[in-house]
Amino acid sequence: MNVFEAVKQSVTTRQAAEHFGIRVGRNEMCVCPFHADKHPSMKVDRRFHCFGCQADGDVIDFVSRLEAVSPKEAALMLAQAFSVPYEDKEPPRRRKPRQETPEQQFRRMERYCFRVLCEYRNQLGRWKRDYAPKAPEDDWNPLFVEALQKQDYVDYLLDTLLSPDMEERAALIASYGKEVRTIERRMAELEAGAAAGRDGGHRSRAAAPERP
Ligand SMILES: [Zn+2]
């Protein structure tokens, strides 16, 4: 039984009204909280009905309107106040897909690291080609330097990620996961920068030195 059914079955509107401090007379009449009522014109039993303003509904409608909360919040409020047991089917169903097993988490990190490192490796290849100094006296572009420095290192990380030894892969992810995130962020920034000024920055510096 869900919380709505359970509350409606266990708590009358009269009990709820009294719980929220509304005085109910012997004939189950009370002053209506939903209009400026001088004489009790609301009847509260299992449900409620006001003969003045025609407000009408069940215990959940009553509390929802009285406390200005959603019907679900009202039901939960009542379930707690009156210790009504209920089965909540929704949270487990919603939580399940979110909760990854350590195994799934590991696989996801593995795929993530592999994807980022592959992209980075391709990027290094492009830098090495595009930013290579054209003449011996040219300054080396920092991206060209990075390509030279990092290519072997990234190859090593990718090889390790392809290793059949799971412990080795797990150790790599544990020690380099953070660095992989940094690489991903940096590539995103570079890409945003490149999109902002296609012909500015490194590209023109790399293309400019055509002098003899
Ligand atoms: Zn009323």
CATH number at residue 79: 3.90.580.10
Confidence of residue 62 (pLDDT cuts 50, 70, 90): very high
* Domain co-membership, 132 together with 181: yes
Cα–ligand 1 centroid distance for 53 (angstroms): 4
Q: Which of 29, 58, 93 is the last residue of a domain?
A: 93
Cα–ligand 1 centroid distance for 30 (angstroms): 10
Buried b (16+ CB within 10 A) or exposed e, 57-78: ebbbbbbbbeeeeebeebbbbb
Cα–ligand 1 centroid distance for 42 (angstroms): 6
List the beta strands (DSSP E) in the chain. 29-30, 42-44, 48-50, 56-57
Domain residues for the domain of 66 are 3-93
pLDDT of residue 194: 80
Establish if 201 belongs to a structural domain. Answer: yes
Q: How many residues does the chain have?
A: 212
pLDDT of residue 136: 85
Structure tokens at 119: 């992209």
Confidence of residue 206 (pLDDT cuts 50, 70, 90): very low
Cα–ligand 1 centroid distance for 40 (angstroms): 9
* Domain co-membership, 108 together with 199: yes
Cβ neighbours for 147, distance < 8 A, ≥ 6 positions apart: 124, 125, 127, 128, 131
Q: Is pLDDT of 53 > 90?
A: yes
Q: What is the DSSP letter of 164?
A: S
* Domain co-membership, 199 together with 104: yes
Averaged pLDDT for residues 78-92? 82
H-helix segments, 162-201: 166-196
* Domain co-membership, 45 together with 61: yes
Establish if 212 belongs to a structural domain. Answer: no
* Domain co-membership, 120 together with 62: no
Cα–ligand 1 centroid distance for 57 (angstroms): 12
Cα–ligand 1 centroid distance for 124 (angstroms): 74
| C-beta of residue 86 within 8 angstroms of C-beta of residue 79 | yes
Report the alpha-carbon distance of residue 31 to residue 19 in Å, rounded. Answer: 15
Confidence of residue 14 (pLDDT cuts 50, 70, 90): very high
Establish if 160 belongs to a structural domain. Answer: yes
* Domain co-membership, 45 together with 83: yes
Total domains, the chain: 2
Cα–ligand 1 centroid distance for 58 (angstroms): 14
CB count in 10 Å sphere of residue 177? 13
Confidence of residue 21 (pLDDT cuts 50, 70, 90): very high
Averaged pLDDT for residues 122-140? 91
Averaged pLDDT for residues 99-114? 87
Cα–ligand 1 centroid distance for 36 (angstroms): 7
Cα–ligand 1 centroid distance for 11 (angstroms): 21
Sheet-wide strand order for 56-57: 29-30, 42-44, 48-50, 56-57
Q: Which of 49, 68, 93 is the last residue of a domain?
A: 93
* Domain co-membership, 120 together with 145: yes
* Domain co-membership, 53 together with 85: yes
210 three-state secondary structure:
coil
* Domain co-membership, 29 together with 107: no
Q: Is pLDDT of 162 > 50?
A: yes
Averaged pLDDT for residues 42-50? 96
Cα–ligand 1 centroid distance for 32 (angstroms): 5
Q: Which of 38, 73, 93 is the last residue of a domain?
A: 93
Cα–ligand 1 centroid distance for 28 (angstroms): 14
Cα–ligand 1 centroid distance for 68 (angstroms): 16
- Considering only CA atoms, which of 165, 163, 166 is closest in space to residue 107? 166
Averaged pLDDT for residues 116-128? 94
- Mean pLDDT (the chain, rounded): 87
* Domain co-membership, 139 together with 200: yes
* Domain co-membership, 179 together with 83: no
